[in-house]
Structure 1
Amino acid sequence: MNRPLPRRRAATLFLLAVACAPGVGVSWAQEEVAPAPESVKPGINDRFLNEDLDAAEWAGRFEVESREAFAAREAVVAALKVEPGQTVADVGAGTGTHMELFAAAVGQGGRLFAVDLAPAFVARLRDRAAERGISQITPVLCSERSVMLPANSCDLVFNCDTYHHFEFPDRTLDSIRAALKPGGRLAVMDFERIPGVSSEWTLGHVRAGKATVRAEIEAAGLEFVAEPKVEGLSENYLIIFRKPLPAPDAAE
């Protein structure tokens, strides 16, 4: 008797099939097979792995001024002080709310990896970049455990309102650390989760508050740098970390 594939295996095979399909135009890297830790929130990404996901519908949810992360996007990108020629990865890029801003910041000499777990979002990112002639964007289909980026390739990894969707945060953070250049930065923007203050939706949906997020990122080997105050942010915070520089050679 043929048994149905386990949910995780089926989702992984679907991702591979989409990534390898002709004309999809996404990047893919070989993920190292290793024992996986337990999920911190099983099923959090199931709807985004659905092959029937409607990217246009989600754009209508994400790209509205009533959403704080969208309304404050210009102030957030300005606070990150991206320089021309740098390489930025927008991990959890979704429908592309920050795509044009980061592309303008890095300029024609820079590069932007637009990374997402949802094949439908990656296809939308590819199409949107092509329609608008933004050649420095590379859409990347990631996995639940890895951002699937080249080692030492990024000056900045940005993550907006999706850290709480990291189902295996230790593995994902390891892959982000590997993707950062020495001295490269990780900027995480997510919802303030404060019992008695935050909304019921936030308390039910977002698994960890800012202190826990910071502790997890520092445990992954990244150094806390700053928490800039950004005009327009009240429900969200922005915290920045840096990959340490190599220790100087003692013989020098």
Structure 2
Amino acid sequence: MLPLLAVLTGAAMALAVSGCSAAAPEGAVSSAAPPGFATERFPRPQRPVAGIVSDQWASEDSRERAGEAARVIDLLGIRPGMTVADIGAGAGYYVGRLAQRVGPKGQVIAQDIDRRTLDRLGQRVSRERLGNVSLVLGAPHDPRLAPRSVDLAMLVHMYHEIAQPYGLLANLVPAMRPGGRVAILDVDGPVPAHGTPRALLSCELAAVGYQEVAWHWIEGRSIYLAVFEPPAAAPEPERIVPCRAE
């Protein structure tokens, strides 16, 4: 989106700095996690990549009227004390709602690859006094999250915009805690139309060793919430076989 879960523009492709620090002031971006596998080691995805048109998928008012965030958060069983990473956080629709659910003993990591998007989100975090939110600046192939720091990673309406999905998924593995999960919210439709077909999503996640554990339809049979368990260790990039969109 938006977010990731997620702004993968040409200018952002050069970004390689990340930030994540619970001790940082509200709204600040600070450096922490080391880089993962280099992008050139991964196969190119054999499918199109949707262009980024906005830092939000739809207006917050319309999403709130539809009850999107409340339903997704309930389905994922997010509870106080958890650490949730919103990959491609964009304008931050989920950030405040997640911060409220995980509570003061939990943490929300708002990640994006666009510095200006994160700066705007940082202002919102400060304005809303979200003391349990930290900001991370990542790269298109690497979320740059600290090792063993995340219970749940969310990629909301942005997976179709990921230019290097195999890299992002592989480099996400070390950040996940034992029992951690990765949740992807997207439209079951063509990638150029800002969706990810179910078969393609399942194939790309499986190519990096992820196992699907739950599938929920959020809006009719069009918008889905897919939940995966990451592998114990990421495969070597050269061993990943890319999927092809039908």
Fold equivalence (TM over 0.5): yes
SS of the residue corresponding to residue 228 of structure 1 reads strand
Write the letter of the residue equivalent to 2:30. Answer: S
**2:192 counterpart residue number:** 204
Contact 1:72 1:233 in 2 (8 A): no
User: CA distance change for structure 1 residues 226 and 17 in 2, over 3 Å: closer, same or farther?
Assistant: closer
User: CA distance change for structure 1 residues 16 and 32 in 2, over 3 Å: closer, same or farther?
Assistant: closer
User: CA distance change for structure 1 residues 114 and 18 in 2, over 3 Å: closer, same or farther?
Assistant: closer
**2:177 counterpart residue number:** 181
Contact 2:16 2:138 in 1 (8 A): no
**1:101 counterpart residue number:** 97
Paired residues in the alignment total: 216
Contact 2:50 2:161 in 1 (8 A): yes
Deviations 1:121-148 (A, max 9, x none): 1112211111111111011111011001
**2:211 counterpart residue number:** 223
SS of the residue corresponding to residue 228 of structure 2 reads strand
Equivalent-residue separation in structure 1 for 2:146 and 2:55 (angstroms): 28
Equivalent-residue separation in structure 2 for 1:119 and 1:131 (angstroms): 18
Give 1 or 2: higher helix fraction: 1
**2:79 counterpart residue number:** 83
The alignment's C-alpha RMSD in Å is 3.2
SS of the residue corresponding to residue 182 of structure 1 reads strand
Pick from 172, 183, 201: which aligns with 1:213?
201
Write the letter of the residue equivalent to 2:202. Answer: R
Superposition pairs for residues 35-74 of structure 1, below 5 Å? 35-37=40-42, 39-40=44-45, 44=50, 58=55, 62-66=58-62, 71-74=67-70
User: CA distance change for structure 1 residues 101 and 91 in 2, over 3 Å: closer, same or farther?
Assistant: same
**1:171 counterpart residue number:** 167
Deviation at 1:244, TM superposition (A): 5.2
1:30 maps onto 2:34 in alignment: yes
Equivalent-residue separation in structure 2 for 1:216 and 1:75 (angstroms): 26
SS of the residue corresponding to residue 145 of structure 2 reads coil
Deviation at 1:227, TM superposition (A): 0.8
Provide TM-score, normalisation by structure 2.
Answer: 0.75
1:92 maps onto 2:88 in alignment: yes
**Structure 2: gaps spanning 5 or more residues:** 1-8, 20-24, 234-246
Contact 1:222 1:241 in 2 (8 A): yes
Contact 2:50 2:191 in 1 (8 A): no
Greater relative CO (CA pairs within 8 A, separation 6+): 2
Provide TM-score, normalisation by structure 1.
Answer: 0.73
**2:157 counterpart residue number:** 161
Contact 1:183 1:244 in 2 (8 A): no
Aligned-pair identity (%): 27
1:238 maps onto 2:234 in alignment: no
Superposition pairs for residues 188-199 of structure 1, below 5 Å? 188-193=184-189
Contact 1:182 1:243 in 2 (8 A): no
**Structure 1: gaps spanning 5 or more residues:** 1-6, 49-56, 194-201, 247-252
Contact 2:83 2:151 in 1 (8 A): yes
Equivalent-residue separation in structure 1 for 2:101 and 2:17 (angstroms): 33
Deviation at 1:68, TM superposition (A): 8.8
Contact 2:150 2:176 in 1 (8 A): yes
